[in-house]
Structure 1
Amino acid sequence: MQSYILDDLGLSDVGGSTTDGGEWFEVVYSGITSTSAHTGPWFPAYKAISQCNMLLGNLDKMTLTETEKKWVKGQALFIRAKTYFVLVQLYSGVPLHVKEVKSEAEAAKPRASEREVYDQIVADLEEAQTLLPSKYADNLINGKQYAINQTCDALLSRVYLTMAGNPLNLGTEYYTKARDKSLSVINSNTYQLLDNFAHLFDLKHENSSESIIELDFIQVDEQGTAMPCFMAPRNSTLAVNTWGTMRLRKKFVKEWRMATCENGFNITNNGDGSTSITEIPGEEDYRYQTSLISEYTNKSGAKVTCFPKIGWQANDKHSNYAFLSKYCDPNGVSQNGHGNNVILMRFAEIYLIFAEAQNEIAGPVTEYQGLSPLAALNKLRERARKANGVQRTFPKKSKRNF
């Protein structure tokens, strides 16, 4: 779980708290040490890989039908591939174990190269794709936590796009692979964008038509997630034990608003070396509006306004930080008892992968099988303009913005 969260949040647009951030702060600021808490994600990741290898090595001993064996093998290969993909992005080349480890000598493998790890990821996903069914099983209540063959294609498109660029720099061949895999997912009609962007991270709309794969959690102690503790503002009532660890960088928030909303910010010099930044009222991109926590109630019952709705001030009534509203659960029962599912991939990303790959191959307006990069991006802009049923004019639809 930790490694998957870092895969999602260890980004240049996300900051961390030096006091509460732990491995989060280290990965964002490249401050990993040999005695680091960042080993936290390493061990669970290799435990998952070990369990996959153990399962794959003993599959023939299990009393299962051939159909069941194919399904189990496909899931194990997908999980191993996904886990190695997280590891190689966090740590570069890592020890590559694809068989059950039965001795210390077998465990002490040197690091493989990045290319070797990526090649194994691709091999696992390609094999899993041939083993898994084409639709989610009707008898699984929360089926999106399991892979189907389109899940493999979706992850392959992301892997190929990563391999095309830095650090492997495999270029056009892999941009083409990413484009083709993403288009396969789009044309499968397996997934649809939700009409209301705000429903994506709403507990009432989990396992939605837009979700490709997600980790499922419930509001039961030790069966839920601690994600809201990291994401919600410190001392807020948006979760149990809120630390405010993960914060959006102000530079990113300002650029986001300037790029997608009608108006930007007023910036005022306070005369003491600091500046106040406040939003200029105007029509907003619905994604911007619903993705940020603008106000919350702290545990003393006071209302607190967050950046960017209020400027530089930081006190009991104002927070100088920007927080995402993705993972909030005021009804969580304990620190590890929040019900927020964690979406690992969703359909919107597939349009973006296609857009980036085809743009690298042929530019923003050249179609491939009837779809151009600009048209793919505009699918997401159109959804944003629908808002919650009220038509908007922002974000704008233009080649220049692309």
Structure 2
Amino acid sequence: MKKNILYYLILGILLLNSCSDEFLKISPETNLTDAAFFKTESHFNLALVGAYEPLRGLVYPGLYMDEMRSDNTFFRYYAPDRGPANWVEDIIQWTDQSQTTAVNNRYYTNYSGISRTNAILSRIENADISDEAKKSILGETLFLRAFYYFDLATHYGGVPLYLEEVLNEETSYQPRSTTEEVYNQIIKDLEAAIPNLPIATSFPQSGRATKGAAKMLLAKTYMSKPSREYSLAESELRDIIGMNYDLLDNYADVFDPINKNHKESIFDIQYKEGDDGQQSNFIYYMFPKTPNTGILTGINVNNTSLGGWNVPNQEFIDSYEEDDLRLPASIKIIEGTLNGGDPYFDPVICLAIKDVGDYTPEPDKVYYPFISKYLHGPYSRPNNTGENWPVFRYADALLLLAENLVQQNKNDEALPFLNEVRDRAGLPDLDEATLDNVLNERRHELAFENHRWTDLIRTGKAIEVMSAYGQRMKNLYDFLPANSFNVTEQRLVYPIPYRETQINPALGQNTGY
């Protein structure tokens, strides 16, 4: 049994908790009550590694539910995938329902993480380990539980709050807490975590939670909860500005794995290229549908099943200001030919990578923009890369503080933070800070990092922006169904998985689904 515990906690093979016919299984995947475990500091550290592991399972649903749900990216309509890919298109087109795959996976992944943190928290106080180790483990674990609940609250609204291990069926049936109650619990967890977390003092960092990461999450919580608390968020963000973080000189270097956990990184989801199960492959979801990725990655992979998603739309590309250094670092063009000639049925044969800024289409070629900011080949293995996923970084903190100050009518105070980010991008200073130009800066600075959708939600711009965007898309693409882009207040959150509403009637369903 101990061997099984170590296997699951270290390698994190089971990203998702299974769901029994009777109730949502949010108890640990293994028998963590085993008397042989949770005895030593090493045991708790292994369990903590297991509690970090579900973070990786949140990156991929985020590509669909955050980035493609927004006005940044779209998809390439590919007729042979009408069945398997429809659930992705449902999210993009706003036709998703309570059995949509990514929506369900994200929900279960978060509760998997919560289950693992609760297993640690229920045992740490009485553990026979040093006070120093206990505080450190407690701080990281509370941060992680807060992170998982924040992801749930921002995407599903009110959800059941499980703050202790679920050890039997009876305790698994929980009604939903309100959205405000979930955010208040997140605040409580973070306030308890922060005193026990270290300040990042040297770089590269370890990749684990720090005071800066917890304060960033706390600030976003204050600015996202129904009863906004901007002054409290401002205090947390100013604390971060006073820490040891800074912008890297070169925007492209932020995403290069050679610089992992650098001074701009506040919190990243960690990956490592190799054969030990720690690799990423999210870049393949950003490539065109192609049978030959060799020109992109250095190793040929047939990417017709993974590719064609998160395609930067032309409107977004055109919205970059002239000489914005972030454009060539974020987006490139793949040029090639169609293997058959029909753009709806045939993948592209990649022939060359071109810069997007001065690209002139050739009459005998097809071209597709793609996200290039995470591409750092050549790689040695197919579908196996080592790029981290950026969650919080210093530029995000600067722009979030600018947004916060504008929301408090402190526009003059916001301007220096806004212009600091623009300066790194090679752009001239602005004369004033407004909510619209702060949001515009966040859109370009944090492009393809899964922030745009929640930015629109937090600032109350989602319905306005996405309704107009949806109409433009429907005018462009005749394959979009008539009921697509039905952007309503109710659909600013995703549905609770259908299965959960059936086995736990106390949950109910979000209005509109």
**What TM-score comes out, normalization by structure 2 length?**
0.62
Q: How does 1:77-88 map to 2 (within 5 A)?
A: 77-88=142-153
SS of 2:415 mapped into structure 1: helix
Equivalent residue for 1:291, pick from 330, 333, 348:
330
Deviation at 1:157, TM superposition (A): 1.3
Deviation at 1:54, TM superposition (A): 0.4
| Structure 1, 4-13 or 334-343: larger mean CA deviation | 4-13
Say if 1:304 and 1:318, in contact at 8 Å, map to a contact too. no
Q: Residues of 2 paired with 1:159 and 1:322: CA distance?
A: 34
Q: Residues of 2 paired with 1:118 and 1:228: CA distance?
A: 32
Which sections of structure 2, spanning at least 5 residues, go unmatched? Answer: 1-55, 338-347, 439-513
Q: Residues of 2 paired with 1:17 and 1:126: CA distance?
A: 44
CA RMSD of the aligned region, Å?
A: 2.9
Equivalent residue for 2:196, pick from 131, 143, 149:
131
Q: Residues of 1 paired with 2:76 and 2:174: CA distance?
A: 35
Equivalent residue for 2:242, pick from 187, 190, 202:
187
| Structure 1, 90-99 or 238-247: larger mean CA deviation | 238-247
In structure 1, what is the equivalent of residue 463 of structure 2?
none
Q: Residues of 2 paired with 1:88 and 1:133: CA distance?
A: 26
The number of residues matched between the two structures is 350
Q: Residues of 2 paired with 1:142 and 1:103: CA distance?
A: 43
**CA distance change for structure 1 residues 25 and 94 in 2, over 3 Å: closer, same or farther?**
farther
In structure 1, what is the equivalent of residue 29 of structure 2?
none
Q: Residues of 1 paired with 2:314 and 2:369: CA distance?
A: 7
Say if 2:336 and 2:366, in contact at 8 Å, map to a contact too. no
Residue identity opposite 1:156 in structure 2 = L
Which sections of structure 1, spanning at least 5 residues, go unmatched? Answer: 262-283, 366-371, 386-393
Q: Residues of 2 paired with 1:341 and 1:316: CA distance?
A: 37
Equivalent residue for 1:197, pick from 230, 247, 251:
251
Deviation at 1:29, TM superposition (A): 3.3
Q: Is residue 2:369 matched to residue 1:322?
A: yes
Q: How does 1:1-400 map to 2 (within 5 A)?
A: 1-7=56-62, 10-11=66-67, 12=70, 13-16=72-75, 19=81, 24-38=88-102, 39-135=104-200, 143-163=205-225, 168=226, 170-171=227-228, 174-188=229-243, 190-221=244-275, 222-235=277-290, 236-237=293-294, 238-239=296-297, 240=301, 242=303, 243-254=307-318, 256-257=319-320, 260-261=321-322, 284-295=323-334, 302-303=351-352, 305=354, 310=359, 317-319=365-367, 321-334=368-381, 337-365=384-412, 372-385=413-426, 394-399=427-432
Deviation at 1:305, TM superposition (A): 4.8
Say if 2:61 and 2:105, in contact at 8 Å, map to a contact too. no
**CA distance change for structure 1 residues 396 and 303 in 2, over 3 Å: closer, same or farther?**
same
Deviation at 1:134, TM superposition (A): 2.4
Q: Residues of 1 paired with 2:394 and 2:135: CA distance?
A: 26
Deviation at 1:250, TM superposition (A): 2.4
**What TM-score comes out, normalization by structure 1 length?**
0.78
Deviation at 1:364, TM superposition (A): 1.9
Deviation at 1:15, TM superposition (A): 2.4
Q: Residues of 2 paired with 1:301 and 1:7: CA distance?
A: 27
Q: Structure with the greater relative contact order (CA < 8 A, sep ≥ 6): 1 or 2?
A: 2
Deviation at 1:374, TM superposition (A): 0.9
Give per-residue Cα distances to partners, 1:313-354, cap 9 Å, x unaligned. Answer: 8x98322x4322122243445455210111110000111111
